[in-house]
Amino acid sequence: MRHLICPRLCRYHKPDRPEEEGCGGLTWLAARPGLEAALAGLSPEPAAPLFGLADDDPRLLRVCAACPYRPDGCDFRDPAVSRDQCAPCGGLRAVAGLLAAGHDLDL
Ligand code: SF4
């Protein structure tokens, strides 16, 4: 699951670093291996970071609420960081991409 998300969708991914704790999106998706095929079909090059979904889409906020980086370590969910200085992680982008493609993720 990680290989379908981090190198393809995450701007924070560093291939030479040991694997770190996964973000909320990665953890959420890793618990649902049935979504692997859908993830493999996502295009990693959309113009919109969240595949057209709003930053404050409640389904995405639910994923972030359970993320270990949320309290202290995520610029994207830090209201003190301006929108043009941050970007969503790959895990959240992956969830957004599946939602935008019409998958009902029950979020
Ligand atoms: S955008 Fe931030 S809070 Fe949300 S899943 Fe990614 S790292 Fe976690």
Ligand 1 atom at minimal distance to the Cα of residue 90: 6
Segment 28-32 long-range contacts (CB within 8 Å, at least 24 positions apart): 28/63, 28/66, 28/91, 28/95, 29/1, 29/5, 29/91, 29/94, 29/95, 30/1, 30/2, 32/105
For ligand 1, atom 4, the nearest C-alpha belongs to 64
Q: How confident is the model at residue 43 (pLDDT cuts 50, 70, 90)?
A: confident
pTM of the shown model:
0.94
> In ligand 1, which atom is closest to the CA atom of 89?
6
Question: Which residue owns the Cα nearest ligand 1 atom 6?
Answer: 89
Closest CA to 89 of 18, 21, 23, 2: 23
Mean pLDDT value across the chain: 92
Q: What is the pLDDT of residues 56-106, one digit of tens each?
A: 999 999 999 999 999 999 999 999 999 889 999 999 999 999 999 999 999
